[in-house]
A and B are shown apart, each in its own frame.
Chain A
Amino acid sequence: MKPTRAELRRQVAAMVADALDRDAADVSPYASLIDDLGAESIDFLDLQFRVESAFGLKFTDDELWRGSFDLADPRWVEGGRLTPEAVEQVRLRQPGYAWERFATGIAIADLPRLLTVETIVDQLERRLAATGVQAD
């Protein structure tokens, strides 16, 4: 059965709320897991296990969190920071994110702060599609 994107978002948001001990109302699709919801490194281990268990998948290393960036591509990264073109791309993908916190640009070290329910759903959708399950 194909889960809809809305259904994936609902399930992931519930996992995030439970793992981070937050009210469901706090877990908006574009809330930063780190800056807005207080996630720490062990929470990412917990969340990955929950997503894998719920969907019967295994993610390698940081696959779930990496997004679609190719950090070796000079069009994306220059001098340890995202290029203006890359910043524009990530902003388009997450229109509801509080981008004002990155007014002076986005360093590579800042990338975990971009993680949201939507970025998890993006990766989850990709993996489900690759295994033959596509979200409607």
Chain B
Amino acid sequence: MVVTGVGLVTTLGGSCAEIRSRLASGEVAARRPVTGASGLHVAAIDGFAARPHFRQPKALKVTDRKTQLAVAAAARALADAGLADVGERDEWAIVLGCSASDLQSAELARALGPLGPPAPERAVDDLQFFAERILGRLNPLWLLVNLPNMVGAHVGIQLASHGPNHTLTGDWIAGTQALGEAYLAIAGGEREVALAGGADAPLDPFDLGCLATRRPLAGGRPFTVAEGAAVWVLEERGHARRRGARELGEIRGYSSTAAVGGDVPAAIRRALSSALAGAGDLADEPASARVESAARQTAALSRELHHRLGHALAASGPIDGALRLAGMAEASTAASAAAGLVLAIGTLGQCAALALAGPECS
């Protein structure tokens, strides 16, 4: 299994080369504080235009911002892989991750706004009242925008890809899980080509309200939430070589774990151990020491990246991983295990980890 293309839409650019260059020059994504949420900042992607990436622009009205970012990233990934003009896409898999819907809260608030007491109580148990007074004020397309599978669905529609189509909504780890699940589908021989990654645009008041609520649980540290998307093209190695594709690297191991009894460190250790076990030959240290060392190093790398770009939630793992792959491709010597590890940690300690290898290891 090899990675043959990466498409990015981030606060510091739309390609690994651009982002790495801006990071190297010390740039930090522009951000603004969220009023009423001390320490919480948002970093938006200024000037992003979705229309050029849509084969059918009419679909823009039924897509939210994260879906539009995903479509753009997918189009860039295909171009990067040299697959933009390939017409036969029926057997491709699409696996994308995102946070749950932001509910288009401005539109929802407008529909709910005119209700005064005691109407809200009636709305709970009176279906006709709910339909007429609330749903009746919402454009019927609101539902289509907010269905949980829309990110994958619209990428498939815009790319005219008729194969299996999955949207994972596992919060901050969803994009990393999507890459892992696509990797398993190819490694297991089910698919020859998959587009996978994540997208999020959590700058809506509903999202920000949820993040502000969670921050005390994370110790209230300063946090910048960002828009972003990253989609990778994964291919079975023989398929890639038959068409002469450039190889950017590979995924060698993947694991997803859940914390039990609040033991998040154990979930992290198990995720990293399993992912590294897939990578196998990347280090000679004892397994436990390797995991501890890799956990510290990968966490430090991710923290720095999240500080500079902002944390794009479900897209953060795929963005992080894409930059690691680019770094490994550039390195003249074999990369360390930590350089190729991506770790995502989500709500209630769910974890996902990927072990990557650069092209020189392939």
Binding site for B on A (CB under 8 A): 19-21, 38, 42-43, 45-46, 49-50, 58
B60, A45: Cβ atoms closer than 8 Å:
no
A46, B57: Cβ atoms closer than 8 Å:
no
B144, A21: Cβ atoms closer than 8 Å:
no
Q: Distance (Å) between the CB of B150 and the closest chain A CB?
A: 13
Interface of A is mostly: helix
B57, A42: Cβ atoms closer than 8 Å:
no
Q: Which residues of A contact B141 (CB under 8 A)?
A: 42, 45-46, 49
Q: Which residues of B contact A19 (CB under 8 A)?
A: 61
Q: Which residues of A contact B62 (CB under 8 A)?
A: 42
Q: Which residues of A contact B61 (CB under 8 A)?
A: 19, 21, 46
Provide the bound-state CA to CA distance between A19 and B59, in Å: 10
Q: Which residues of B contact A50 (CB under 8 A)?
A: 139
Q: Which residues of A contact B139 (CB under 8 A)?
A: 46, 49-50
Q: Distance (Å) between the CB of A20 and the closest chain B CB?
A: 6
Q: Distance (Å) between the CB of A21 and the closest chain B CB?
A: 4
Provide the bound-state CA to CA distance between A32 and B136, in Å: 27
* Binary contact track B80-113/A, C-beta < 8 Å → 1, others 0: 0000000000000000000000000000000000
Known A-B contacts: A42-B62, A49-B141, A50-B139. Give 19 more (CB < 8 A).
A19-B61, A20-B58, A21-B57, A21-B58, A21-B60, A21-B61, A38-B58, A42-B140, A42-B141, A42-B144, A43-B58, A45-B140, A45-B141, A46-B61, A46-B139, A46-B140, A46-B141, A49-B139, A49-B140
Interface of B is mostly: helix
Chain B's closest residue to A44 (CB) is: B140
Q: Distance (Å) between the CB of B194 and the closest chain A CB?
A: 28
Q: Distance (Å) between the CB of A90 and the closest chain B CB?
A: 27
Q: Which residues of B contact A58 (CB under 8 A)?
A: 136
Q: Distance (Å) between the CB of B152 and the closest chain A CB?
A: 18
Chain B's closest residue to A52 (CB) is: B136
Q: Which residues of B contact A49 (CB under 8 A)?
A: 139-141
Provide the bound-state CA to CA distance between A43 and B140, in Å: 10
* Binary contact track B296-327/A, C-beta < 8 Å → 1, others 0: 00000000000000000000000000000000
Q: Which residues of A contact B136 (CB under 8 A)?
A: 58
Provide the bound-state CA to CA distance between A96 and B57, in Å: 28
Q: Which residues of A contact B57 (CB under 8 A)?
A: 21
A19, A21, A43, A58: residue with the most chain B Cβ atoms closer than 10 Å: A21
User: What are 8 inter-chain pairs, A to B, with CB distance below 8 A?
Assistant: A19-B61, A20-B58, A21-B57, A21-B58, A42-B140, A43-B58, A45-B141, A46-B61
Q: Distance (Å) between the CB of B281 and the closest chain A CB?
A: 52
Top-4 shortest CB links A-B: A45-B140, A21-B58, A49-B139, A21-B57
A20, A38, A46: residue with the most chain B Cβ atoms closer than 10 Å: A46
Q: Distance (Å) between the CB of A111 and the closest chain B CB?
A: 22
Q: Which residues of A contact B140 (CB under 8 A)?
A: 42, 45-46, 49
Provide the bound-state CA to CA distance between A38 and B60, in Å: 15
Q: Which residues of B contact A38 (CB under 8 A)?
A: 58
Provide the bound-state CA to CA distance between A19 and B144, in Å: 15
Chain B's closest residue to A40 (CB) is: B58
